[in-house]
Homo-oligomer: A and B are copies of this chain.
């Protein structure tokens, strides 16, 4: 067994069962080696998580290089979101700490290039990139994939329970809020508004 194979096994484990299900002991058992043998491949758990990010980064599916800057940026944002949703724990592994792994830089490089191609000067492209980054990662982390009918009903029910005189706006928009919980359409809407605001036609 190689380090890459172990990191791959760890990634499929967290994709299926969540980050909290990953323990050195359980991973070792999954792979069929002694727990302490893992420490021959990774200095510690943090090092294993870094290796998992590298493996996941290879799974990024670059958007097709066709069309104008606007539609290419939309495709790039969509591809980044799809990538994060395929590995839901990616956004949890590193909170605020910037990811300085080369594999992750490859994803950023594409986005930055598209913004420069769209005509933004370098400092402006850097600022714009960060805004897109925060929105895409934020959507993946806090809004997520298509909400289930059950989730929609739950939020509807919760809003309807609120006293109407204290929460008039939420009551008014309750139906819309349930629909806007997450999903591809909601994400695309925000992405489009954001690119509008950045002046990318």
Contact = CB atoms under 8 A, between A and B. Distances in A.
Interface of A: 88, 91-92, 95-96, 98, 100, 102, 105-106, 108-109, 112-113, 115-116, 122-131, 133-139, 141-144, 151, 154-155, 158-159, 162, 166-170, 172-173, 175-177, 179-182, 186, 189-190, 192-198
Work out how many copies of this chain go into the complex: 2
B96 A180 contact: no
The majority secondary structure among interface residues of chain A is helix
A122 B175 contact: yes
B131 A169 contact: no
A176 B125 contact: yes
Contacts of A105: 158-159, 162, 167, 170
Given A126-B179, A193-B197, A197-B197, A142 B173 contact: no
Contacts of A186: 127, 130-131
Q: Which of A98, A143, A194 has the most CB of B within 10 A?
A: A98
Contact of A127 (B109, B167, B176, B196): B176
A53 to B, nearest CB: 14
21 contacts: A92-B92, A96-B141, A105-B158, A108-B170, A109-B170, A112-B173, A113-B168, A113-B169, A116-B173, A122-B175, A122-B176, A123-B179, A125-B173, A126-B173, A127-B180, A130-B181, A131-B189, A131-B194, A134-B190, A192-B197, A193-B197
